[in-house]
Amino acid sequence: MMKFALAGNPNSGKTTLFNGLTGSTAHVGNWPGVTVDKKEGVYKKCAEPISIVDLPGIYSLSPYTPEEVISRNFILDEKPDCVINIIDATNLERNLYLSTQILEIDVPMVIALNMIDEVEKSGDVLDAKKLEEKIGVPVVEISALKGRGLDELMTRAYEASRTPRKGRTVLDGTSIVHLIGDCKIALEGQKVDNALFHAVKLVELDELEVKMHPDSAFMVEEFKKTFEDDTFGTDFDAIIADARYKYITKNCSPALVKKVRSADAPSRSDKIDKVLTHKFWGIPIFLLILFALFHLTFSENLLFLGAALPEGWVALEGTALEGVFGDGGINSPGVVLFNLLDLATSSLGEAIAGAMEAGGVSEWAIGLVCDGMLGGVFAVLSFLPQILLLFLFFSILEDSGYMARVAFILDRIFRKFGLSGRAFMPMIMGFGCSVPAMVNTRTLADEKERIATIRVIPFFSCGAKLPILTAIAGGIGLTFGLPHTDLITYGMYVVGIVVAICAVLIMRSTTMKGEVPPFIMELPTYHLPQFKNLMLHLWDKAKHFVQKAFTIILASTIVIWFISHFSWGWNYLPDEQINESILAGVGRLLQPLFTPLGFGSQIGSFGWVFVVAAITGLIAKENVIATFGTLAGCITAGFVADEALEGIDAVASMIGATEIGVPALIAFIVFNMLTIPCFAAVATAKAELGKKRFNMTLVFWVVTSYVVASMFYLIGEWWWTVFIFVAVWAMVITLVILNKQGKINLDVLNPKNVIAKIKTLKK
Amino acid sequence: MQPIEIVLIVASVLVVVAVMVSAIVKKAKGKSGCGCGCSGCPHASACQSKKTKKA
């Protein structure tokens, strides 16, 4: 099958074009660096099927980050039949810089002028034919978003792929063209493919090229000794970059006729940026937006109207609608959707239980279906609307171009903690799922910054942890009568962020010391999010969540139900004897470990359920609430109800049965939020970090979650312990500051140095 | 034991075995372990086994 590669600058619309050509639903976002690995699809509308490969965005073929290496290696080593170079037509000159480099490779090439509709809308005129004449490769106007010109692009690319193309350089006339020629001849003598491209890179003293061709690099170094350029001295890299831009300005820029505008007239994006990226208001505005998202998703007192509206302003009391809209009719959209699904699943559960009872099915079978299967799955499934709503809000912010701005405004603060603003993008992705977030750290050039970021990504609560936060916060509200439980959920998200910042600060001051790399990010223009794009994101998320609920979660809850209803002697136990089960035995064995966290040996006879829930969460975080859903119905059979209990009700029942306190419940949330993430995230971390660093990361997750959760429990239970923790943290921060100022050296705490010291002492 | 109870036990065992087998098969084939599909996923290679990567 023929293979066409899509190459271009970050955020030029490659993935949108890839989706348009192949019918895929790959993730697209309005910020540079969404794609970090190549992906393939098939275009079927040509004379023969063509494999389309979407490459990560690159600014040049001199790569710095891992995903940029992927793009360069693919074009050079995999020898695609044609390279489709996508150019953001609204930013022609900068995008053509990469084109001048691809031109040097012996590969058929077509230029796709993307976002041509934006150019037309702005009143500018871009002459594709003129550009084609100057550059010497086909140029096609397209709009990947609107599907305009895609068939023509593929037809031209198909035609181009039939004729081999020799690379040519735009560096003719420069002072080093002869050196490039000599290097090319030397490389051709060594039978190197794409000799011209490699020769230019060699003259630039590109790190990869120097390693590959040390003999020819020596030739360049020798030439350097006798060479002096008037402007750039012996900086060949600068001479070449300058020559490329001169070529673009002279030959390509005339193809673009810009509309006459007032020189200082700000664009729409500039006007919005004046407010949203303001030096002082930028961060408070971001926090306010974040709060609004969580409020719309979790609040049972929408816009805090509860205090303003007179009691009984709407007559919902006693009606079915009260359960959906709340007694004051002011539930947020997220809570309304949650209640609706909860109502549907509860009714379905009750109907199935009723039908089974009427059919004379035995008690254990009803228990297996209602508690084991439906209880667990429904407990998780009922949170789907809130997960989707939160995900929708984040997608809107991402697609609009705002998230890229947040990375920019946070750079100043992140820098103080040892990270660049670029690290914000994978972190914010962590709110959706840790797996892609960890992979996205490949866009970070500094390895130590990357490791530190991967380690703290699970602290940004993913969608799977949302049921834990919401159900336990709801359970606290229901049992202890606390208002505004959405603030607990929001607070827990903030705790995750604060712990991540503190952890990074400590890591970057001790084991992960290093300079913070400069943060350069192209800010995309603001645009209204595409409805289709948003719906595709949501559909993808919903599909995978439901799939997970009916596979991994269902299987886990069945296993939990069985081992909670059989004794070590493999005898069936009714609900009342659940404390004698295998699961209870294992849970009780581990219970003492969690005593400092408040959900260990000190809570009632069913306290082991909390330990078991935390352990099952290591498979998938949804399992924590699924475990409550499965076991609550059995445990509370003698306390509250004899029906399947879901989500918040299940947690409330467990709180009632164990008499666990609020501090321990908060510690339970914190522990689950910060500890080892799910299997998938653990596997990804292992792949990204390597075995040695991965082992340290596991220890880091366990220690951090244990320490922070016990801190919450102790402060909640004995308020005066707050002074001890404040003193300890003050000491840590002082040490970090002194270390930064060079007054002390915290390197002695580095495990490597400690081990080396022990070895020396042993000798 | 009623027929429905036998069906329930068989179905439960089947679900658990099927999920475990599918996870093992997916891992062996180098497919995703996160529950999401690999088609069109830019992060698919991160989940793939070393064996597949070498191939």
DSSP one-letter string for A72-122: HHHHHHS--SEEEEEEEGGGHHHHHHHHHHHTTSSS-EEEEEETHHHHHHT
pLDDT band at A379 (very low <50, low <70, confident <90, very high): confident
Q: Looking at the structure, do residues A7 and A143 belong to the same domain, yes or no?
A: yes
Q: Looking at the structure, do residues A47 and A186 belong to the same domain, yes or no?
A: no
Flag whether residue A124 sits within 8 Å of chain B, measured between CB atoms: no
* Contact residues on chain A for B39, CB-CB shorter than 8 A: 24, 41
Give the start-end residues of each E strand in A236-361.
256-257
Tens digit of each residue's pLDDT (9 = 90 or more) over A574-633: 888 888 999 999 999 999 999 999 998 888 788 899 999 999 998 889 889 989 888 887
Q: State the CB neighbour count (10 A cutoff) for residue A513.
A: 15
Q: Which two tokens stand for residue B51?
A: 């064996």
Gyration radius (Cα) of chain B, Å: 16
> Helix, strand, or coil here: A455?
helix
Q: Looking at the structure, do residues A135 and A215 belong to the same domain, yes or no?
A: no
In order of A82, A100, A460, the CA distances from A8 in angstroms are 14, 12, 31
Contact A439 B43 (CB under 8 A): yes
Q: Which of B18, B37, B46 sits opposite A684 (nearest CB)?
A: B46
What is the distance between the alpha carbons of residues A306 and A310, in angstroms, rounded to a whole number? 8
Identify the burial level of A743 via C-beta atoms within 10 angstroms of its C-beta, where 0-12 means exposed, 13-18 middle and 19 or more buried: exposed
What is the distance between the alpha carbons of residues A351 and A345, in angstroms, rounded to a whole number? 10
What is the distance between the alpha carbons of residues A527 and A268, in angstroms, rounded to a whole number? 10
In this structure, is residue A44 part of a structural domain?
Answer: yes
Tens digit of each residue's pLDDT (9 = 90 or more) over B32-55: 555 555 544 545 554 444 434 333
Helix (H), strand (E) at residue A612? helix A608-616
In this structure, is residue A80 part of a structural domain?
Answer: yes
Tens digit of each residue's pLDDT (9 = 90 or more) over A456-497: 999 998 888 989 998 999 889 888 888 778 888 889 999 999
Helix (H), strand (E) at residue A418? none
Tens digit of each residue's pLDDT (9 = 90 or more) over A718-730: 989 889 888 988 8
Dihedrals φ, ψ of A100, to 5°? -65, -25
Tens digit of each residue's pLDDT (9 = 90 or more) over A336-355: 998 899 889 888 988 998 99
Contact A555 B20 (CB under 8 A): yes
Question: Which pLDDT score is estimated for B52?
Answer: 40
* Contact residues on chain A for B32, CB-CB shorter than 8 A: 680
For A249-263, what is the mean pLDDT?
Answer: 77
Q: Looking at the structure, do residues A88 and A237 belong to the same domain, yes or no?
A: no
Q: Looking at the structure, do residues A17 and A45 belong to the same domain, yes or no?
A: yes
What sign does the dihedral A329-A334-A335-A339 (CA atoms) show? positive
Contact B46 A365 (CB under 8 A): no
Question: Which of A39, A552, A563 to mutate: most B Cβ within 10 Å?
Answer: A39
For A72-88, what is the mean pLDDT?
Answer: 91
Q: Looking at the structure, do residues A137 and A233 belong to the same domain, yes or no?
A: no
What is the distance between the alpha carbons of residues A395 and A402, in angstroms, rounded to a whole number? 10
Q: Which of A26, A438, A687 sits opposite B40 (nearest CB)?
A: A26
Flag whether residue A687 sits within 8 Å of chain B, measured between CB atoms: yes
Say if CB A746 and CB A736 are below 8 A apart: yes
Q: Give the ranges where B1-55 is alpha helix by DSSP (H).
A: 3-29, 44-47, 50-54
Q: Which two tokens stand for residue A249?
A: 């300005």
Strands laid side by side in the A82-88 sheet: A39-43, A50-54, A2-8, A82-88, A109-114, A139-141
Say if CB A18 and CB A12 are below 8 A apart: no
Q: Is the pLDDT of residue A112 over 90?
A: yes
Find the residue in A nearest to B17 (Cα). Answer: A555
Q: Which of A24, A364, A365 sits opposite B40 (nearest CB)?
A: A24
Contact B46 A27 (CB under 8 A): no
Between residues A314 and A760, the one the model is more confident about:
A760
Q: A199, A226, A257: which is the final residue of a domain? A: A257
What is the distance between the alpha carbons of residues A497 and A462, in angstroms, rounded to a whole number? 12
Flag whether residue A355 sits within 8 Å of chain B, measured between CB atoms: no
Listed range (A16-30, A307-321, A688-702, A731-745) with the worst mean pLDDT: A307-321
Q: Which two tokens stand for residue A120?
A: 């037309």
Q: Which two tokens stand for residue A111?
A: 């230029």
Between residues A742 and A111, the one the model is more confident about:
A111
* Mean pLDDT, all residues of chain A: 86
| Closest C-alpha among A646, A639, A563, A556 to residue A604 | A639
In this structure, is residue A400 part of a structural domain?
Answer: no
For A670-695, what is the mean pLDDT?
Answer: 88
What is the distance between the alpha carbons of residues A376 and A629, in angstroms, rounded to a whole number? 5
Question: Which of A442, A551, A630 to mutate: most B Cβ within 10 Å?
Answer: A551
Q: Is the pLDDT of residue A423 over 50?
A: yes
DSSP string, A689-730: H-HHHHHHHHHHHHHHHHHHHHHHHHHHHSTTHHHHHHHHHH
In this structure, is residue A436 part of a structural domain?
Answer: no
Max CA separation in chain A (angstroms):
98
Contact B35 A687 (CB under 8 A): no
Dihedrals φ, ψ of A41, to 5°? -150, 175
Q: Looking at the structure, do residues A139 and A14 belong to the same domain, yes or no?
A: yes
Flag whether residue A436 sits within 8 Å of chain B, measured between CB atoms: yes
Q: Which of B12, B43, B46 sits opposite A558 (nearest CB)?
A: B12
Please give the interface size between A and B, counted as residue pairs whose CB atoms are below 8 Å apart.
100
What count of Cα atoms within 13 Å lies in the side-chain half-sphere of residue A288? Answer: 7
Tens digit of each residue's pLDDT (9 = 90 or more) over A505-542: 888 887 888 888 788 777 888 888 888 878 887 887 88
Interface ipTM above 0.90: no
pLDDT band at A285 (very low <50, low <70, confident <90, very high): very high
Q: Looking at the structure, do residues A137 and A253 belong to the same domain, yes or no?
A: no
Q: Is the pLDDT of residue A666 over 90?
A: yes
Q: Check which CATH number belongs to the domain holding A227 and give it.
A: 1.10.287
Q: A161, A192, A210: which is the final residue of a domain? A: A161
Say if CB A587 and CB A563 are below 8 A apart: no
What is the distance between the alpha carbons of residues A432 and A680, in angstroms, rounded to a whole number? 14
| Closest C-alpha among A218, A181, A186 to residue A200 | A181
> Helix, strand, or coil here: A25?
coil
Question: Which pLDDT score is estimated for A596?
Answer: 94
Q: State the CB neighbour count (10 A cutoff) for residue A51.
A: 16
DSSP state of A750: S
Q: Looking at the structure, do residues A127 and A184 belong to the same domain, yes or no?
A: no
Strands A125-126 and A256-257: antiparallel
The letter for the amino acid at A547 is: Q
Question: Which pLDDT score is estimated for A26?
Answer: 66
What is the distance between the alpha carbons of residues A497 and A494, in angstroms, rounded to a whole number? 5
Nearest chain B CA: its distance from A544 CA (Å): 6
Q: State the CB neighbour count (10 A cutoff) for residue A721.
A: 14
Q: A238, A257, A276: which is the final residue of a domain? A: A257
pLDDT band at A189 (very low <50, low <70, confident <90, very high): confident
Domain count for chain A, please give it: 2
> Helix, strand, or coil here: A15?
helix
Q: Looking at the structure, do residues A118 and A152 belong to the same domain, yes or no?
A: yes
Flag whether residue A487 sits within 8 Å of chain B, measured between CB atoms: no
Strands A39-43 and A50-54: antiparallel
Listed range (A424-433, A491-500, A638-647, A697-706) with the worst mean pLDDT: A638-647
Question: Which pLDDT score is estimated for B48?
Answer: 46
Q: Which of B15, B16, B47 sits opposite A683 (nearest CB)?
A: B47
Say if CB A476 and CB A665 are below 8 A apart: yes
For A658-676, what is the mean pLDDT?
Answer: 93
What is the distance between the alpha carbons of residues A550 and B11, in angstroms, rounded to a whole number? 13
Nearest chain B CA: its distance from A680 CA (Å): 5
In this structure, is residue A53 part of a structural domain?
Answer: yes
Contact B47 A438 (CB under 8 A): no
Max CA separation in chain B (angstroms):
52
What is the distance between the alpha carbons of residues A245 and A252, in angstroms, rounded to a whole number? 10
What is the distance between the alpha carbons of residues A507 and A513, in angstroms, rounded to a whole number? 7
Q: Looking at the structure, do residues A139 and A193 belong to the same domain, yes or no?
A: no
In this structure, is residue A116 part of a structural domain?
Answer: yes
Q: Is the pLDDT of residue A45 over 80?
A: yes
DSSP string, A538-566: HHHHHHHHHHHIIIIIHHHHHHHHHHTSB
Q: Check which CATH number belongs to the domain holding A15 and give it.
A: 3.40.50.300
Contact B42 A27 (CB under 8 A): yes
In order of A296, A381, A425, A432, A527, the CA distances from A390 in angstroms are 9, 15, 17, 9, 20
What is the distance between the alpha carbons of residues A559 and A331, in angstroms, rounded to a whole number? 36
| Closest C-alpha among A613, A558, A547 to residue A381 | A547
Dihedrals φ, ψ of B8, to 5°? -60, -45
Q: Which two tokens stand for residue A495?
A: 């705790």
For A232-239, what is the mean pLDDT?
Answer: 80
Flag whether residue A546 sits within 8 Å of chain B, measured between CB atoms: no
What is the distance between the alpha carbons of residues A518 and A680, in angstroms, rounded to a whole number? 32
Identify the burial level of A157 via C-beta atoms within 10 angstroms of its C-beta, where 0-12 means exposed, 13-18 middle and 19 or more buried: buried
* Contact residues on chain A for B19, CB-CB shorter than 8 A: 551-552, 554-555
In this structure, is residue A624 part of a structural domain?
Answer: no
Say if CB A549 and CB A37 are below 8 A apart: no
Question: Which pLDDT score is estimated for A654?
Answer: 86
Q: Which two tokens stand for residue A476?
A: 């606290």
Flag whether residue A288 sits within 8 Å of chain B, measured between CB atoms: no
Nearest chain B CA: its distance from A572 CA (Å): 13
Helix (H), strand (E) at residue A39? strand A39-43
Q: Looking at the structure, do residues A37 and A99 belong to the same domain, yes or no?
A: yes
Contact B4 A365 (CB under 8 A): yes
Interface of B with A (CB under 8 A): 2, 4-5, 8, 12, 15-16, 18-20, 22, 32-37, 39-47
Flag whether residue A555 sits within 8 Å of chain B, measured between CB atoms: yes
In this structure, is residue A333 part of a structural domain?
Answer: no
Domain housing A85:
2-161
